[in-house]
Amino acid sequence: MNTKIWDLRQEHQTTEELDALKEMKRIFENDGLIALPTETVYGLGADARNEQAIHKVYEAKGRPSDNPLIVHIHTLDQLEAFTSGITEEIKKLMKAFWPGPISFILPLKKGYLCHSVSGGLDSIAVRMPSHPIGRRILQFVDLPIAAPSANLSGRPSPTTFDHVYRDLNGRVDGIVNGDQSEVGLESTVLDCTQFPFRIARPGSVTQSMIEDIIPNCITTQGTLDIDKPIAPGMKYKHYAPDTPVKIIEVLNQPPSSDKDWSKTAFILPRSKQNLVPDEATFIALCKDEQDIKTANHKLYQILHQLDQDEHIEQAYILGFPINDQTTAIMNRMMKAADQVIVKGEKL
Ligand code: TXA
Ligand code: MG
C-alpha cells in the first residue's frame, strides 16, 4: 500500500491544508486509515461507524480485536449519538479537562458506532484531543474517529512522526506529521460507568487533579496495584522495546567499576549523570527527580531510540517513588521493563 504523507506543521488555513483535509475526509469515508498527531501519542484513526475500517485498524496494528478502541471527537454535540448516562459529575470533568489528555469510559448507546470499535462491550471510551493539527482534522472530517496508538501491537507508543513511519509506512493510507507529542504518555482512562469512578489507565491527568474537580469520586480499589491488568488492553504485553530494559529502584552510588558497561545505556535524570560509568551511554530522562513532565514527554522517544541504536544491548532506567504524579510513568516503565526491578547497589 502506498502511504501518503502530509506535513501540516506550517500549514494553517492555506489551500494546501484545505486540500489535505479534503483528501483525508475522502479517505476516512472510504474505509481508510490515517495516523494523526495528538498531544498524548499519535493515533491510528478510522471512522468509528465503519466496521470494515475498524477491522483494518486491528489488522494494521496486528492487534487482537477484543481490545476496545478510544473514539475521538471535536465537540460535545457528537456524544449524543452514541453515549448515554452522562451525569453532572462527568460533565464537570469534561469541562475541566477537555480538550485534553483524558478519556472517559461511558455507557454505549448502541446502533451508531460499529460493533467492533467497542470490542462488543456495553461501554465506549471517548476523548477530545487538544493537539491543534489533530483537532483541525477531527473538526473538518466531523466523524467519530476511533484511534488506538499508531504503533504495531506490543511496540512502544509513537510520539513522533518517525516512530509512526517506521511501524506503519505501507500499512496505512496516510500519516500526518505534527511534531513531537507534548504529553508523551497515552491518555488517562477514567471508567465512568460506575460511581465511584475508576482509573483504568493512569495518565498525565492524575487522580488528585480529578478529585480537585469532584472530591472523593475515585475508587482506588485495585487501581494502585500497577502490576494488575485493569483495562482490557493491559493484559497484553505493551510498550516494550526490543532492547531489554530494567528499572533501578534507587541509585545513590556509581555501579560497580569491574563490569563492562560499554553496551549499556543509563536513562536517568540529568542530576544523576555523575553516577554513570564512563564507558556507558547516558540518556537524559529529565532534569531532576521532580521533573516528571519532561520524563513523561521523553520516555517513549527514549525507548524507540534504544532500538535504533545498535550499539546498546541493555538499558537501565531509574524509577520514581510512586505518588500521584508518578503513577502513570511508573506504569509504563514497568511494562517496558517487563516488571523487572533491580537495586542500585547490586549493579
Ligand atoms: O492517548 C491515548 O489514549 C491514545 C491516543 C491516540 O488517543 N490512544 C490510545 O488508545 O492509547 P489504545 O487503543 O492504545 O488504548 C486504549 C485503552 C486500552 O487499554 C483499552 O483497553 C482501554 O483504553 N479501553 C478502551 N475502551 C474501553 C472500555 N470500553 N472499557 C475498558 N477499557 C477500555
Ligand atoms: Mg496502545
Each residue's pLDDT tens digit, 201-241: 999 999 999 999 999 999 887 544 444 434 544 444 556 78
Q: Which of 38, 299, 71 is nearest to 164 (CA)?
A: 38
Best residue among 113, 149, 188, 204 to mutate for probing ligand 1's pocket (most ligand atoms within 8 Å of CB) is 149
Q: Flag the least confident range among 87-91, 217-221, 246-250.
A: 217-221
Q: Flag the least confident range among 87-101, 157-171, 217-231, 274-288.
A: 217-231
Distance CA 26, CA 229 (A): 38
Q: What is the pLDDT of residue 68?
A: 93
Distance CA 85, CA 72 (A): 18
Cell of 308: 535504533
Is the pLDDT assigned to residue 275 strictly greater than 80?
yes
Is 319 near ligand 1, meaning CB less than 6 Å away? no
Is 37 near ligand 1, meaning CB less than 6 Å away? no
Average pLDDT over residues 92-118: 97
Is 342 near ligand 1, meaning CB less than 6 Å away? no
- The secondary structure element, H or E, covering residue 235 is none
CA distances, 181 to each of 91, 178, 268 (Å): 26, 8, 21
Domains of the chain and CATH, by start? 4-213 (3.90.870.10), 245-346 (3.40.50.11030)
Q: What is the pLDDT of residue 222?
A: 53
- In this structure, are residues 320 and 289 in contact, taking their beta carbons and an 8 Å threshold? yes
Q: Which ligand is nearest to the CA of 113?
A: 1
Q: What is the pLDDT of residue 334?
A: 93
Is the pLDDT assigned to residue 172 strictly greater than 90?
yes
Q: Which of 202, 203, 295 is nearest to 247 (CA)?
A: 295
Ligand 1 centre to CA of 27 (Å) is 23
Alpha-carbon Rg of the chain, whole angstroms?
20
Is 152 near ligand 1, meaning CB less than 6 Å away? no
Cell of 164: 509512526
Q: What is the pLDDT of residue 241?
A: 85
Is 96 near ligand 1, meaning CB less than 6 Å away? no
- The secondary structure element, H or E, covering residue 1 is none
Distance CA 263, CA 347 (A): 14
Atom of ligand 1 nearest to the CA of 103: 3
Q: What is the pLDDT of residue 239?
A: 66
| pLDDT > 90 in the chain, percent | 85
> Which residue, by CA, sits nearest to atom 10 of ligand 1?
148
SS3 231: coil
Cβ neighbours around 212 below 10 Å, total: 10
Is 151 near ligand 1, meaning CB less than 6 Å away? no
Q: What is the DSSP string of 158-227?
A: P-SHHHHHHHHTTTSSEEEE--S-SS-SPPEEEE-SSSSBEEEE--SS-HHHHHHHSTT-B--TTTS-TT
